[in-house]
Structure 1
Amino acid sequence: MTLNPRRFQLLIAGLLAGATVVVVRLAYVQLVQHELWLSEAEKQQETLVPVDAPRGTITTRDGLLLAGSVEKVAIYVNPKRIPRDRWSLVAQKLAPLVGRTPPQVLAEMQRRNGFFYLAKGLSPEVVEPVTRLNLRGVGTLPWQQRLYPMGTFAAPVVGFVNAEGQGQAGVEASCQNLLAGEASLVRLSRDGKRIPTQLDEQTEKPGRPGFQVVLTLDARVQWILEEELARILEEVGGKGATAVAMDPATGEILGLASLPSYDPQNLASYPKETWHHRAVETVLEPGSTFKPIVVAAALQAGVVRPDSLVDCSGGGVQVAGFFIRDHARYGILPLAQVLSFSSNAGAIRLALRTPATTLDETIQAFGFGKTTGVELPAESPGLYRPLSSRSWSALTPAGLALGQEISVTALQLARAYAVFANGGLLVRPTLIHQVRDATGHTVVAGGQPTPRRVLAPDVAAAVASMLERVVTEGTGKAAQVAGFRVAGKTGTAQKAVEGSYKSGRHAAWFAGFFPLPQPRMVLVVCVDEPEATYWAAEVAAPAFGRMAARLLQLFGHVPKVEGVA
């Protein structure tokens, strides 16, 4: 066969052209696109893994650690990266490291579709033996374990986190963004089969530890509240109890107790209802603790003066065809004694004489029917139907005078009584004292909006004086503290269940402030469904008195001795 020279030349030219294209393309890839293809190669050899930053601490203002984190280790397994015939071997080697049997580990691998954590919260000492196993699809990563060293103490305030480290209740939830910090990104090398190894770990992007949240709570105040609530529940029984201690001038909450409590470290052992904070989530009718608000509205409207006399009708009052009984056959009483004797008829007559618009405006100005804005999740606004809702009946003013047709939280009531204690200003309750970074520098200082005036100073002072007489001569005598002037009001509220009041189910309240004439603390105590006795004068008032006595001593107040200047 004779080779055609022309065809041979064309073949050679084609081969040379093809080779030229290959050489040019290779040069372009190696020189021009070098960085692009290097990046693609690294993507196949490496992976970025987010690693959570240490979660910030939660402490009281006096330095008690309520929640913190410790660095532990998590062992991960990815069955997809492990040949199935080696699963039994992997399970056998991992079992002793995680405290399980090989069949248990194998079962866990069989029911998973991919990457999962076999165990979390392990000692860092486990890293070395896992690395020595040199198992594909198995490794360790840092893991932050949340600890609550004080157990049940202040737990409903602190809250807890879930398995992913997300706040689910309390300050842990409300301050999630502050506490969580920013995760770092760690670059892990991968072998030829793109399986992560423990080799060549490097931080691609540094994270930021969570901020430290310092609460306004004073650990000593909180302890006194919880101890006294536990005592009263032991003495009289009950569904639960709560107490609020607050600075009336600033709104700073020094104590916020809710019993029964729970241990955030062992949630499964406690009923879910204990996870809620009674002071901000439980709403109850306030009973006679609401009468001072009605008196304040009447004074604001000018229908009575502090020295006025009130006709208490000698045992009851007729309203819209209903006869409402009083506690006793009171006749004409000075306005102050309407409160000190807690006369139902007297309070109703005041409510009926006060223009409905003024009564409604005063109740709303005190913040009822709205959340306080405290830094806790799931806060209830309570239940109040304003006049504008057109749901008022002829009985509504009388019901409000008795602390009915309205439900409040203990924190709402504490804020209301702070108005009487501070001269007429509505403050916003707060739990956050400071927020600090990991070095201890303050990044957010506790600040309060300017208090809003809701009562004239003389009206607030007049009601405060009447509330002092409740303690000295009326239903609140058990709240007295020797050597100190205390003001407050009892409230025994029958609980409404499914639209009607149930016999034997009550809430016992006492709300007050001390020491006069310059109150430094507002204190509210509520016992839900006390059993041995339900009268507030016998349940809540004594508990208030014991708490007040201990708190006054704690803060160094010196009692005044009669006859000594």
Structure 2
Amino acid sequence: MASPPRSLSSQRARRLPVSNRPRRVDRTAFIELPTFRLLLVWVALVGGCGLLLLNLFRLQIVQAPQLQARAQEQQMVYMRPFIPRRQIIDRTDTVLALDRPVYTLFAHPKLFKESKQAIAEKLAPLLRQAAADLVKKLDQAETGIRLEYSLSETVADQITNLRADGLELLQSQQRFYPQHELAADVLGYVNDDHKGQAGLELSQQKLLERLSNPVKLRRMGDGSLMPDQVPGGFLNVDDWQLQLTLDSRLQRVAIAALQQQVKKFSAKRGTVIVMDVRDGSLLTLASTPSYDPNQYFKYSVDRFKNWALSDLYEPGSTFKPLNVAIALETGSVKPDSVFYDEGQIQVGGWPIQNFDYSTSGGRGSITLTQILEYSSNVGMVHVVQQIKPSVYYTWLKRLGMSEVVGIDLPSEASGQFKTRKVFLESAIERATTAFGQGFSLTPIHLAQLHAVLANGGKLVTPHVVKGLFDSKGQPYWQPNLPMPRPIFSKATTQSVLSMMETVVSKGTGKSAQIPGYRIAGKTGTAQKANPNGGYFDHAKITSFVGIFPVEAPRYVVVAVVDEPKGGDAFGSTVAAPVVKSVMEALISLEKIPPSTLASEETMGR
């Protein structure tokens, strides 16, 4: 009989012989073996070295160019040193513009070791401010209070000597104009970036600005510059100065005389021009009112333009001598020609009369000389009517009507003149042109045209820049001016000058007489044109042009006064005295001897 099967529990209880059982691995013991530990260390070292080698390959091979460039960039610094603009001087070496160090004063009250009142009392006399006002400023904040800017080195040194904690001086460079308003209309000014904004500072920017290339220097580990790496001549600058043709002494006299007349007649503004007729150099170019370029931000922008160059006006009777010259040059009239002055005429249905018709009426038969002497409008119309209209127009264009004169200053305006078609077809246009109305030009253009009469008939270019000169007066650069252009013959200009001399000796220009000197001149009183058409009822522009000495003409002096008030405001009463004062100063400054053949009328006065 078969044995019954064993239970499951008996089967599980069955054990294999010890020798036949699988061995259990003791992992803990294996890990603790020295060999395994060494193996792990070796793997870690090899892996680490491999990673280092890979990173080294990346740094030394793959990224080497970029990293080298970055390293050099960190070690090198590029500096562009501040180099001051060149000085501007006048013909006598008087400094008109220069760069100077200035200081801005900041206060930090939290650092004060004295009371605010004590600090304010020490600063008040140096800053020329009331101590109470300074205390109010100091109460505004605990730090970073700006008390004053543009302090001179002298004042900055005085503040430093106070030894007061909490005061900070920051240095900067500033363009300084020591003559203030004297030549502002010519010089202009620079902005905070040291860039010219008006006048010569703008038009001659390239001559005034010293250019410098960036300099590459090497840093040391602490960030300081290595002194042995600074290139030679790092801060060397030239000593060139921009010299002008202006004479500050004469400019000062002109402004004083002009301001006196502008104030006396309650005028809007005025300008004075003095030109050397030989080459067009300007000794004076002054206007009033003007501005102080050191504080340009305090003035309205209309002050920054030189209206002698930028504004147009109708020259009136001061243009009559040029019309006489055209008539003589074309052979339309002769120096001894006689014309009939009715005092009042009609041209193309428009009335034309002399300025003194109501008191003097018609003068009858008068010569060319008397036409200028009496400033006869009717007489000039008759003179111009002798010139063929097309020829007359051609000659006016030859004088540069509707063109600029080419001066070396910015913002010059070109004149306004009628088209050829209108001029030839309209008799009234030619008639008004005869006595200087119906067209417009700038005061500088009028001075240029009268220089043609003074120098024997040549058109010269007005200019104020003489050139770049070093400190010893040696020229480095001088402007290349256009050659003088012949316009009139010498015979024509001498005839016209002789006629203009009678204007001063006998006519409307008597107020410009200087005993012992022969002076030619012409007065002008013109209605002021309305921009909307026609003329203002009571606004006028007065002017006077003087040329002297007549025997050897050297200077043209032009004065224009805009909108003088009063019934006695004429070129003879407003502008002529200004020209006289300027000519008297010229005589003294240039040591001009009396005329050897002064007219009896002039000598008698």
Question: Offset at 1:248?
Answer: 0.5
What is aligned with 1:82?
Answer: none
Paired residues of 2:219 and 2:226 also in contact (CA < 8 A)? no
Paired residues of 2:423 and 2:429 also in contact (CA < 8 A)? no
Deviations 1:55-101 (A, max 9, x none): 2111111011111111235799xxxxxxxxxx998999xx9999864
- Describe the SS at the equivalent of 1:491: strand
Paired residues of 1:385 and 1:391 also in contact (CA < 8 A)? no
Q: Does 1:243 align with 2:268?
A: no
Please give the alpha-carbon distance, in whole angstroms, between the structure 2 residues aligned to 1:91 and 1:18. 59
Paired residues of 2:242 and 2:465 also in contact (CA < 8 A)? yes
Q: How does 1:474-553 map to 2 (within 5 A)?
A: 474-497=507-530, 498-532=532-566, 533-553=568-588
Q: How does 1:432-471 map to 2 (within 5 A)?
A: 432-436=465-469, 441-471=474-504
Q: How does 1:177-326 map to 2 (within 5 A)?
A: 177-183=206-212, 185=214, 208=237, 211-312=240-341, 314-326=342-354
- Describe the SS at the equivalent of 1:217: coil
Q: Residue type matched to 1:546 in 2?
A: S
Question: Offset at 1:352?
Answer: 2.5
Question: RMSD of aligned C-alpha atoms?
Answer: 4.2
What is aligned with 1:63?
Answer: 93
Structure 1 residue runs without a partner (length 5+) = 77-86, 110-117, 134-138
Q: Residue type matched to 1:539 in 2?
A: V
Deviations 1:185-240 (A, max 9, x none): 47799999x9xx88779968658568521110112221221222122223333111
**Percentage identity across paired residues of the two chains:** 32
Q: Indicate how the Cα distance of structure 1 residues 383 and 33 shifts in structure 2: closer, same or farther if over 3 A, else same.
A: closer
Please give the alpha-carbon distance, in whole angstroms, between the structure 2 residues aligned to 1:102 and 1:505. 54
Please give the alpha-carbon distance, in whole angstroms, between the structure 2 residues aligned to 1:391 and 1:210. 57
Q: Give aligned pairs, total.
A: 534
Question: Offset at 1:336?
Answer: 1.8
Paired residues of 2:528 and 2:540 also in contact (CA < 8 A)? yes
Q: Residue type matched to 2:345 in 1?
A: V
Question: Offset at 1:122?
Answer: 7.3
Please give the alpha-carbon distance, in whole angstroms, between the structure 2 residues aligned to 1:70 and 1:388. 57
Paired residues of 1:479 and 1:545 also in contact (CA < 8 A)? yes
Out of 592, 597, 601, the position equivalent to 1:557 is 592
Paired residues of 1:185 and 1:203 also in contact (CA < 8 A)? no
Deviations 1:480-500 (A, max 9, x none): 221111111111011122323
- Describe the SS at the equivalent of 1:384: coil
Out of 77, 80, 84, the position equivalent to 1:54 is 84
- Describe the SS at the equivalent of 2:572: coil
Paired residues of 2:273 and 2:559 also in contact (CA < 8 A)? yes
Please give the alpha-carbon distance, in whole angstroms, between the structure 1 residues aligned to 2:72 and 2:404. 54
Stretch of structure 1 that moved more, 546-555 or 282-291: 546-555
Please give the alpha-carbon distance, in whole angstroms, between the structure 2 residues aligned to 1:127 and 1:477. 59
Paired residues of 2:189 and 2:201 also in contact (CA < 8 A)? yes
Q: Does 1:330 align with 2:363?
A: yes
- Describe the SS at the equivalent of 1:494: strand
- Describe the SS at the equivalent of 1:364: helix
Q: Residue type matched to 1:57 in 2?
A: Q
Question: Offset at 1:107?
Answer: 8.6
Structure 2 residue runs without a partner (length 5+) = 1-26, 128-133, 601-605
Please give the alpha-carbon distance, in whole angstroms, between the structure 2 residues aligned to 1:90 and 1:368. 68
Out of 367, 378, 386, the position equivalent to 2:400 is 367
Please give the alpha-carbon distance, in whole angstroms, between the structure 1 residues aligned to 2:98 and 2:190. 11
What is aligned with 1:81?
Answer: none
Question: Offset at 1:286?
Answer: 0.5
Q: Residue type matched to 1:287 in 2?
A: G
Q: Residue type matched to 1:346 in 2?
A: G
Q: Residue type matched to 2:455 in 1?
A: N
Paired residues of 2:374 and 2:503 also in contact (CA < 8 A)? yes
Paired residues of 1:316 and 1:329 also in contact (CA < 8 A)? yes
What is aligned with 1:136?
Answer: none
Question: Offset at 1:429?
Answer: 0.5
Please give the alpha-carbon distance, in whole angstroms, between the structure 2 residues aligned to 1:480 and 1:282. 29
- Describe the SS at the equivalent of 2:445: helix
Question: Offset at 1:445?
Answer: 2.1
Paired residues of 2:138 and 2:145 also in contact (CA < 8 A)? no
Paired residues of 1:180 and 1:209 also in contact (CA < 8 A)? no
Q: Indicate how the Cα distance of structure 1 residues 188 and 105 shifts in structure 2: closer, same or farther if over 3 A, else same.
A: farther
Question: Offset at 1:394?
Answer: 2.9
- Describe the SS at the equivalent of 1:504: strand
- Describe the SS at the equivalent of 1:165: coil
Q: Indicate how the Cα distance of structure 1 residues 16 and 188 shifts in structure 2: closer, same or farther if over 3 A, else same.
A: closer
Question: Offset at 1:503?
Answer: 2.7
Stretch of structure 1 that moved more, 182-191 or 499-508: 182-191
Stretch of structure 1 that moved more, 519-528 or 279-288: 279-288
Q: Indicate how the Cα distance of structure 1 residues 31 and 264 shifts in structure 2: closer, same or farther if over 3 A, else same.
A: closer
- Describe the SS at the equivalent of 1:558: coil
- Describe the SS at the equivalent of 1:406: coil
Please give the alpha-carbon distance, in whole angstroms, between the structure 1 residues aligned to 2:75 and 2:349. 86
Deviations 1:507-546 (A, max 9, x none): 1111121001110111111111112322112222233223
Q: Indicate how the Cα distance of structure 1 residues 387 and 106 shifts in structure 2: closer, same or farther if over 3 A, else same.
A: farther
Q: Indicate how the Cα distance of structure 1 residues 434 and 125 shifts in structure 2: closer, same or farther if over 3 A, else same.
A: same
Q: How does 1:90-239 map to 2 (within 5 A)?
A: 101=138, 103=140, 123=153, 143-183=172-212, 185=214, 208=237, 211-239=240-268
Q: Residue type matched to 1:554 in 2?
A: L
Paired residues of 2:408 and 2:463 also in contact (CA < 8 A)? yes
Deviations 1:267-297 (A, max 9, x none): 3444444333232223211011111122122
Q: Indicate how the Cα distance of structure 1 residues 456 and 563 shifts in structure 2: closer, same or farther if over 3 A, else same.
A: closer
Stretch of structure 1 that moved more, 493-502 or 200-209: 200-209
What is aligned with 1:114?
Answer: none
What is aligned with 1:113?
Answer: none
Please give the alpha-carbon distance, in whole angstroms, between the structure 2 residues aligned to 1:183 and 1:356. 58
Bigger CA radius of gyration: 2
Paired residues of 2:80 and 2:212 also in contact (CA < 8 A)? yes
- Describe the SS at the equivalent of 1:512: strand
